[in-house]
Amino acid sequence: MTAMAKRHKKINFISFEGLDGSGKTTQINLLAKYCECEKINFLVIREPGSSLIGEKIRIILKDNGNNFMDAKAELFLFMAARAQLMREKIIPALQKEILIVCDRFIDSSVAYQGIARNLGENFVKQMNDFATDNIKPDLTFFLDVTPEIIFKRKNKNLDRFETEGLDFYQKVYSGYKKIFCEEENKNRAVFIDGNLKCDEIHEMILNKLFA
C-alpha cells in the first residue's frame, strides 16, 4: 500500500504550534522531505508570511526596531497576513485536496495576542473566524516544551518576539495548554513532548497522519 493510499482522507490541513524554539520548523522540514519521497502533493506555508503581502507584514512584526508596537496593531497585522494567506494559498489548496502544512495558525494569535497580550481570548477567536471564513486545521501538533527549556536554547539573533521575557512566554505556554484542552479543540489537538529526539517526534507525526 502506498503512502498516498494510507493518507487519512479527512486530514487535508495541519498546523504546528509551540513556543519559539520548540522544534516546529525542524519537524515541518522532516515531514516535507517525507512527502517529497512518497510523492504526496503538499504545500508548506508559514505565518505570518507565504504571500507577498504576508512576508512584508512578517518583516514589520519581527523587527526589533518596532518594540513600541501597540498590541492591537500587532493583532491586526497578523489577521491581515492570515486573510491574504487564506485567499492566495489555503483555500485554493483545500479545493485541490493538497496537504497543507502550516507553521503556526489561529492558535498562535489566541495564545500570544489574546492571552499573553491580554486582548481577550474570545475577541481574538472572533477575529480568527472572520479572517479565515471559519476554516480550521484538521489536526494541530503542539510541540510541548516549557518556557524554561526554551530560554536555555535561545541564540543571540533574536527577533522582536524572541526578546520577550520569561513571564511573557509562561503566559503563552499556559495559553496554549488552555486552548487545546477546550472542548472545541480537543479532537484536533495532538500533544507531543518536544524534548524527545527529532526522529521519535517525526515518527509520531507520521503515524498520526499516515498510519
Give the residue with greater pLDDT, 6 vs 126.
126
Q: Which H helix or E strand runs over 141?
A: strand 139-144
Q: Is residue 97 part of a domain?
A: yes
Which residues form the domain of 32? Answer: 8-210
Dihedral sign for Cα 179, 181, 184, 186, please.
positive
Backbone torsion region of residue 104, taken as left when φ is above 0, otherwise alpha when ψ lies between -120 and 50, otherwise beta: left
Q: Is residue 1 part of a domain?
A: no
Q: Is residue 36 part of a domain?
A: yes
- Grid coordinates belonging to 99: 496537504
pLDDT 10s digits, 46-80: 999 999 999 999 999 999 999 999 999 999 999 99
Q: Is residue 2 part of a domain?
A: no
CA end-to-end distance (rounded Å), the chain: 11
Q: Is residue 3 part of a domain?
A: no
Q: Is residue 201 part of a domain?
A: yes
CATH number at residue 199: 3.40.50.300
pLDDT 10s digits, 79-121: 999 999 999 999 999 999 999 999 999 999 999 999 999 999 9
pTM above 0.75, yes or no: yes
- Grid coordinates belonging to 125: 477567536
What secondary structure letter does DSSP report for 98? P
Structural domains in the chain (count): 1
